[in-house]
Amino acid sequence: MISVLMRSHNDILFVRKTVEALLTQEVDDVFEIVSCDDHSTDGTAEYLAGIPQIRRISPPEGRYVPGRTLNHMVRMAQGEYIVFNNADAIPQHREYLKNLVLPLKDSSVDCVFGNQIARRDAFAVVRKDYERAFGDGSVSRHWHKFFSLVSSGFRKEELIQHPFDETFQYSEDSQWVNRREVKIVYVPEAVVEHSHNYTLPEVKKRFFNEGVADKQMGKLLPGLLRTIKSICAETLRDWIYLLKHRSVKEIFYAPVYRYTQKMSYFRGTKK
């Protein structure tokens, strides 16, 4: 049995399509959808309450901590396979779930993650990042333990034995795969639509906190010179991509975006 665990918070713009796509999955195993909504105020919780095929569980008491909610959902799951699928990650075909879980049949595989394509309204620089990180996997396979929980799969026994760290407010998925040796499999055939057009203040907050989390988990961190080089290199890649795709309106936005992203991360590592 597969348990699809879906976290949500004010996702009314996407949750309907996500649920509809999940309910039409063609998979050999029996599966359940378990929803844990984090006090949504936009109608998300009410929509989920109206879908009889979804089993709803209450979130843990207290402020939202990713690892605490994830571990709570895992304990409540009935399936031997666990799939995390965010409420705003929309499966793009009916064999998504089947494709995602298949590698877990091999007991040597610890976790899997699926392909994410950017939304149609995504900023071009965001779209470029998603194409590099996901796509055919040819770029990110060279990155150290790249992984995303947004669309991912595990065996339940693995998560019971090795639960998520509840001291992390960001990057709990990265912490899970980096704290020990694990075999990660990327499944490009399991596709969801998912991306965010963050404002610059939101970019600053997110990447600052990712820097804090990476320092907390003891990763090798970049210095100022390496950060500056990274800003320049990524901006150059942005410009090439923008010119190739005729998105010249973001030519001046790209260096501002990259500076905000990389410098915020760097400052987070110094906290």
CA distance 93 to 135: 16
* pLDDT, tens digit, 9 for 90 and up, residues 24-74: 999 988 999 999 999 999 999 999 999 999 999 999 998 999 999 999 999
pLDDT tens across 107-131, in order?
999 999 999 999 999 999 999 999 9
Q: What is the mean pLDDT of residues 123-152?
A: 96
What is the pLDDT at residue 271?
85
- Contact at 8 Å (CB) between 32 and 79? yes
Query: Band of the pLDDT at 172, cuts 50, 70, 90?
Result: very high
Written as six digits, the tokens of 243 are: 């010119």
Average pLDDT, integer, range 77-104: 97
| pTM assigned to the model | 0.93
Enumerate the β-bridge partners of residue 243: none
* Residue 176 confidence (pLDDT): 96
Residue 120: closest CA among 193, 202, 191, 190: 193
pLDDT above 90 for 149: yes
Amino acid (one-letter) located at 6: M
* Alpha helices (H) along 94-190: 96-101, 124-133, 156-161, 172-178
